[in-house]
Structure 1
Amino acid sequence: MSLSCVLCGGPLGHARNETWLNEFRSIYTTGYDWHNPCLSGVGLVEGSEYHPQFNAPPWFEDRYDDQGFATENAIRILPSPVFEPIPGGAPPDVQPWGFFFHAACWELLRAETHPQKVDIRVLNDILRSCPRPEGTINWGHTYGGIYASQNGNWMNGTGIRLGHRLGYYRYPDNPNPEIVLHRQDPLNVTPIRDIIEQSKAQNFERLSISIRAPFSTDTRNFAILPLELRELILCFLPSPDVRSLMLASRAFASIQLSQTFWASRFDNDYDYIFEVRKDLPRGTPCNWKFLFENIKGAVHNLPAIRNRKRIWELLRSLTDAVVTLSQSPLKGLPARTFFDPEIARDSKEWNKAVKSRDSNLTRFSYGSVALYSRTVFVNQKVVGVYVSFFEMAGTTFVSGIRFICSDGQHIELGYIIGKTEVYLSVGTCALDDGISTFRGFKVTIGERGIQAIAVASHPNASSPLAGAHEGIPKRLLASYFQDIREVRAGFDGFKLVSLDIPSDTEPQSSLRETFCWLPDIPHHCWNLHGDCFVGCASIKRHPEWPLTYLHFGGHGGRHLGNLVSLSAWEVSGTLMGIEVQYGHPIDGATIRDVGYCGTYNERKSALISRKTKVKEEKTTFEIDGPGGERIVAVELCDVKSREQGTEPWFRITTNRDRAVYFPESMSPQHGHPKVIKPEGSKAITGFYSVESHFYSILPLKPP
């Protein structure tokens, strides 16, 4: 397998002329000693492109080309842990394995983390937390264009999957300008060092600039600030904002900018030129304006600096994570996981908000994995909860929970990051005489972890959600009968990936309380007819697959009189989606749908091959909703009478004895249908289905 640098995404090894692409470091662990990583010295990638060998000095101070370093002292590091002996390898329990990155990229990470040191344990946990497809880490970005991307989040489409690398990196003469740029050594910046030396010899004085402020009303505001304070404000702003402020305010436009201001540009615009910080400590005589203007020109002309800027931007969220998490240790009592097998197994029955996961430890290509499990006991009434968040590559996740008890006690669970906390008040329940009750949570579960939390005072009542929740599956995790006194949670290196509460003495088995839902958890008054749901076997095997509903009738059926048609979309005779149309817009739309309604080629086929196209067919059944026609019965079944419901069909009947099968080719001889017929004058107001990560619509039935 061809591997890439987990920091910059560029190729590791087999470069003819770019030595920096062949030199690597690794954060590695020995066998199953998961929690004690080491940083290797600088090694050289050997072997073939698709069977590379990563041999490196075991100590970070050493290099493979150091005089006196003996090759036999190098260790062979594998890209993943092994559980069976391999030819020529060490026994699995002592075989080093780890994550690989260019030695140059490691220096950039160190420079960006400065003045703090890189916490190897924290960094290793973060790396272990991310999926590893295509020979690198999937952070949720494309490494600045090195990888192709595709919508890959099988639940809500907000994540990405990495495609193949851009072009052929093994050919140094590849004319693709992106590849030419990404192969440039980010530390080979001799012209920058020359400019720094020249700036030391330049004469300098306090400089003024003339920018006409076309409109200004700040004579009684900014103008009354001391000159030093106004310049200090400018020092903290990026250069584009400085120019905008000077154009808008005469009080700032008239400032004579000092060398202090020009020096501040290397804390804002050009922080990635870390040689300035290293070679010119504050107080060093230097013409900072000369330095700024010349480096500004060099940045655009030097491909190596442009590649460095790309890598620096990629590392920004990672360095923030390493620094923040090194100061925010995981809170809670340790519980057993695969990675902590020495902890006693918990025999308690738990109600779990299940995360998505890839269970194959050697091929962790999507989802998330719990590296740690923590438990807290809440023995007092909970009156409020603080939720901590962490952002990685533009996606926000829940990282920790802090419970506030009636006696003033604070109980912490997970990574508590104070500056991100959001407060949620625990509500009261009428069944408990208005006393605040903590009965559980409502959570949104993304592909990589939990992204939002609400506090439930009853399964039918909860606080607003804190965190990202639009278009993400929701899961109700609450008790009908008791306040929650214990919470267990699973964490990876920086976020919450699972959440459990003790099971009720009388466990709830309704679909509403058992599975994830989109766009939200169904109203407790809806009749889901769970006993007729033909996909129970499938959804129980994959509880992370969300149930998605189309509630076209509206609350109390108020939209049924506006319904004019119901359509089914199919591909090769397989039902893929349902679409309804209204005569007049409802919330700005005349069409609502569930599943793949004319979007299969765009969303599904592209994941297989961009050239793969299938015929999408639509069958429409007109309904006279304005005239009082209603759907009053539904028959549904799997084509082959399978409990999984992988090839569903259904038949609707209206109160005018009109009926239609979807797909049209189906008929009663296919399977043994289940019939849903509301009592009295009630009508069908919606359908729901389960969507797998293969984007296939499974059974449909009405709430």
Structure 2
Amino acid sequence: MSRPTICLCTLCGWFIFDLPGNVSWQNQFRGVTSSPAGVILTGIGIQDNFGNSVFIAPTNPRRRWDDPSYDRPQEDEFGAMRQLEVNGRHGFVFHEAWWDLLQKASHPRPVSVTRLFDICRSLPFPLLFSGLSWGHDHGGLVDIDDEHHFPWEEDRFTDSMYLEPDPVRGENPYEVPEVRVVLAEAPGRPPSPGPTISVATMPEEHGFMALPLELRSAIAIYLPTSDVLNLRLASRAFWAILDNQRFWASRFGDVSERPWLFEVWDETAAKTARDWRWLYRRTNHGSMCPGLQNRVRVWSLAQKILEILELSWAEVGVTTFPKPEPQWWTHVSGSLWEPPTDGSEPLFWGGCRLFRKHRVPIPEGLSRLSVSSVRVGDAEYLAGLKLITVAGESHQVGYWSATAIERSSEVSEIRGFKLAVGFRGIQGLQCTVRGSNTGDHLWLGSTERSPKTLRLDVDKRVTELEVGFDGCKIVSLPVCYQSPPSSPKAAGEGKNRLRNMAMWYPDVPGPSLCLNEDSFPPRNRYLGGYSPLLWTSFGGPGGAYLRHFTGLSIIWGRGVHRIDFAHYVAVPFEHRTLGCLESGPWTENIDFAVDGPGGEIIEAVEVFRHNAEETCLRLMVEEGDLAAFRVTTNRGRSCLFSKHSELPSVSEPPLRIAVAPGKAITGFYGSHRAYDFSGITKLGVISEVVGEE
């Protein structure tokens, strides 16, 4: 039996379907779709074909599928979510109930369907998740496996729900009958009142007591309830706040803790005398009905969407003209998706899309560089960029809002950037200026859990930027310099090409570490594009942990799942492992002890590769995957790490990396592939001078 095609709501992540013959909130939907007239919000349709998701809805947003004069014509069908265009239209579908909640949360501002459409087009459909991925867990509907995947691997998003009833997520989040019952209930017995405090009993020097109670109450209204409770413990001047009905009523305001209980402000309910403190206690999580719990979940998701929707496009002093023929341009981007050219289905499964790009000249008399940021899911990305001169002239492009995160750095010249680059876009940048290191300037944006690169640290005066965007963030950032590169670093040449041009996780290896690049055959593949390398130094800074190093353990599955390093004292986690795939009954551990305390070190590594000629992945044929490796110590001891008891048949001669006296092998680096459980597929060796004081 074939698996039925079921679409999930774009924003709440729950199924858009119900059992045949049923009409409920779960199978009534709206679409935000393309059309000859531009992006439109459809009327209300119904999804009543369980085995084949056909989406037909009126093009008039005020009409419904069950209007007497509407017969669901085929010309109103559109392709939705993962589907291809139908009738020249494609769009994103939402439960009608969810859309109503989004409008409530956005009130009094209307929801911009054009902006929402562009944002949704910027989001991928991960292969292991049935819906559109915002990068968060949809309030528990998506499993995000960060323990066994790296941040740039889209297969860390997987479904966590099944076709079974759910006591919370299957409840209508908009129409919750129990809310009217709660609002009509007689308040329960109030807590015992606090002691009456006389101003005369307080020390004269107590600052808060000098303020009128009305002003203290006004201060409390702008604070979270938890902060007010802590403030009450710290100062008796705030003891009376908890008996203040105006304070408790503020908890139900638009930007407070219970905005989702919007019925309390309906015309009839608003006229009712209310014990707001009791209502606050009555609507805590433990007292909520399932429908209200689902509303809280969906309302929280709506707030995340509205923060992105608040961004608007700004463009000052820039151009969309094509850049001149490339002379000295250097490019960095997230993993840009391009439609397939082999006729296969163009599913945007991961990475980012490029919708527009703008050239920004670096002005003379530069004074400041600013960026705006936006949080999409569990990551923060750059959304806009602004250059300001000493005279106050501004060159600005991107997405900005009054509430967007904005950061600035004082700069007079830009000679490049160090970038933090996520799979879905640019997350942060750090300026390089003449006579300084990138570390001399603050990061603008986020560096959290993202690969870093020095590829744009060109060591020449940057004259122009070309900033690329999707629907809400920066996804590419080429830089232009108008004189040829005068140093190996700027040209991406020399013995440090890999260090300077590759993307590294968690950060770029320091200059004291030798990467033995000539013994890493696939080097050229990692000098451009989006192919992060991960690395670790089990020997620690300057080899400080070598005296504590007691061995390594390789977890073999289909490939090298992980390399764990043992020390007899506690060392930071980042020095203890390379790779992240889990071990299990299907894996095998190979251990090798090293007498680090006695002076034993690893002084040579041999890497064996094989080319999987039967594979359809060209890069695996050209570069070869890791088949085995052997380590040898300064005591002549060695260990072959292989899934087989003997050396596997390999199609390439082994690569041997040995170190000179006074140096030691202190780390490894490589690439990682999780989707087929290959793990570490390429392996490089890090060495450095050790023993110097």
Whether the 8 Å contact between 2:7 and 2:81 is mirrored in structure 1 is no
Following superposition, the deviation at residue 414 of structure 1 comes to: 2.0
Change beyond 3 A, Cα 1:591–1:196: closer
> Take 1:459 and 1:638, find their aligned partners in 2: how far apart are those partners?
42
Is the Cα contact below 8 Å between 1:57 and 1:75 reproduced in 2?
A: yes
Preserved CA contact (<8 Å) 1:636 1:673: yes
Q: Residues 438 and 41 (structure 1 numbering): CA distance in 2 closer, same or farther, change over 3 Å?
A: same
Give the letter for the 1:126 counterpart.
Answer: I
In the TM superposition, residue 513 of structure 1 has moved relative to its aligned partner by 1.9
In 1, Cα distance between equivalents of 2:663 and 2:25: 72
Q: How far 1:10 moved relative to its partner?
A: 2.0
Gaps of 5+ in 2: 340-344, 486-490, 613-620, 687-693
8 Å contact from structure 2 (residues 415, 461) kept in 1: yes
Contact 2:82 2:347 in 1 (8 A): no
1:263 aligns with 2:249: yes
Match of residue 455 from structure 2: 477
Within-5 A mapping of 1:202-213: 210-212=193-195
| 1:63 match | 64
Contact (CA 8 Å) 2:538, 2:667: kept in 1 or not?
yes
Contact 1:26 1:98 in 2 (8 A): yes
Change in 2 beyond 3 A, CA 1:555/1:194? closer
Return the offset for 1:658: 4.0
Deviation at 1:453, TM superposition (A): 1.7
Residue aligning to 2:668: 687
Equivalent in the alignment of 1:441: 417
My pick for the range that moved more, 305-314 or 147-156, is 147-156
Alpha-carbon shift at residue 423 of structure 1 (Å): 2.3
Identity value in percent: 27
Paired residue for 2:51?
A: 50
Q: What does 1:266-305 correspond to in 2, within 5 Å?
A: 266-267=252-253, 268-279=256-267, 285-289=271-275, 293=279, 296=282, 300=287, 302-305=289-292
- Tell me how far 1:454 sits from its aligned partner: 1.1
Equivalent AA in structure 2 for residue 371 of structure 1: F
Shift, 1:274, TM fit = 1.7
Q: TM-score, normalised by structure 1?
A: 0.80
TM-score scaled by length of structure 2: 0.81
Residues 345 and 453 of structure 1: is their aligned pair in 2 closer, same or farther, counting only changes over 3 Å? closer
In the TM superposition, what is the alpha-carbon distance from 1:249 to its structure 2 partner? Answer: 3.6
SS of structure 2 residue aligned to 1:52: coil
In 2, distance between residues paired with 1:129 and 1:398?
14
Contact 1:459 1:478 in 2 (8 A): no
Contact conserved, 1:688 with 1:701, CA < 8 A, in 2?
Answer: yes
1:422 lines up with 2:407 in the alignment = yes
Q: 1:221 aligns with which of 194, 207, 215?
A: 207
**What amino acid sits opposite 1:673 in the alignment?**
P
Give 1:517 shift. Answer: 0.6
Q: Does 1:125 align with 2:126?
A: no
**1:297-376 to 2 correspondences below 5 Å:** 300=287, 302-322=289-309, 324-326=310-312, 328-329=313-314, 333=318, 335=320, 347-348=325-326, 350-360=329-339, 362-376=346-360
Is 1:236 matched with 2:240? no
Offset of residue 105 of structure 1: 0.9
Bigger mean CA deviation after superposition, 406-415 or 19-28: 406-415
C-alpha distance after superposition, 1:508-528 (max 9, x if no partner): 141112211122112234332
Instruction: State yes or no: 1:107 paired with 2:100.
Output: yes
1:76 to partner: Cα distance: 0.6
Residue 259 (structure 1) shift: 5.2
Structure 1: how far apart are the matches of 2:284 and 2:149? Answer: 44
Cα distance in 2, alignment partners of residues 573 and 668 from structure 1: 16
Question: How far apart, CA to CA, are the structure 2 residues paired with 1:557 and 1:195?
Answer: 65
Deviation readout 1:280-317 (Å, 9 max, x if unpaired): 69xx6431327963993698354333322221122111
What SS is found at the alignment partner of 2:375? strand
Deviation at 1:109, TM superposition (A): 0.3
Question: Hey, what's the Cα distance between the residues in 2 that align with 1:579 and 1:196?
Answer: 58
Structure 2 counterpart of 1:4: 8
Residue equivalent to 1:637: 608
Tell me, in whole angstroms, the C-alpha distance in 2 between the residues paired with 1:418 and 1:254: 35
Matches within 5 A, 1:534-683: 534-536=521-523, 539=526, 543-560=529-546, 562=547, 564-571=549-556, 574-586=559-571, 592-596=576-580, 599-601=581-583, 613-624=585-596, 626-627=598-599, 629-640=600-611, 643-663=622-642, 665-666=646-647, 671-679=652-660, 681-683=662-664
Structure 1 654/242 Cα, relative in aligned 2: closer, same or farther at 3 Å? Answer: closer
2: CA distance, partners of 1:534 / 1:4: 44
- Relative to structure 1, is the Cα distance of residues 216 and 57 closer, same or farther in structure 2, using a 3 angstrom cutoff? farther
Counterpart residue type for residue 32 of structure 2? I
For residues 570 and 298 of structure 1, the distance between their equivalents in structure 2, rounded to whole angstroms, comes to 47
Task: Tell me if structure 2 keeps the 8 A contact 1:439–1:459.
Answer: no
Following TM superposition, by how much is the alpha carbon of 1:624 offset from its aligned partner in structure 2, in angstroms?
A: 4.8
- On the 8 A contact 1:533/1:701 being kept in 2, the answer is yes
> Could you say what secondary structure the match of 1:390 adopts?
strand
Q: 1:333 deviation in Å?
A: 4.1
The alpha carbon displacement at 1:530 in A equals 1.8
**8 Å contact 1:151–1:160 — kept in the other structure?**
no
Q: CA deviation at 1:376?
A: 0.7
Deviates more, 1:267-276 or 1:638-647: 638-647
Task: Report how many residues are paired.
Answer: 641
Superposed CA RMSD: 3.8
**Correspondence for 2:500 among 513, 518, 530:** 513
Deviations 1:21-66 (A, max 9, x none): 22111100038x9xx31111111223x2231211111121222223
Q: CA deviation at 1:110?
A: 0.5
Q: Determine if contact 1:181/1:304 at 8 Å carries over to the other structure.
A: yes
Conserved? CA contact 1:80–1:362, under 8 Å: no
Cα distance between partner residues in 1 of 2:378 and 2:204: 36
Change (3 A) 1:194 1:331: farther
Deviations 1:637-678 (A, max 9, x none): 314596523124333444444444333632898731233344
CA distance in 1, matches of 2:103, 2:467: 32
Q: Residues 23, 678 of structure 1: CA spacing in aligned structure 2 closer, same or farther, 3 A cutoff?
A: same
Which residue pairs with 2:689 in the alignment? Answer: none
Structure 2 CA distance for partners of 1:80 and 1:167, relative to 1, 3 Å: closer
User: Residue type of the partner of 1:688?
Assistant: Y
The alpha-carbon deviation at position 399 of structure 1 amounts to 1.7
Question: Counterparts in 2 of 1:10-159, with a 5 A limit?
Answer: 10-15=14-19, 17=22, 19-30=24-35, 36-46=38-48, 48-69=49-70, 71-72=72-73, 75-80=76-81, 89-90=86-87, 95-133=88-126, 134-151=129-146, 154-156=149-151
Amino acid at match of 2:76: I
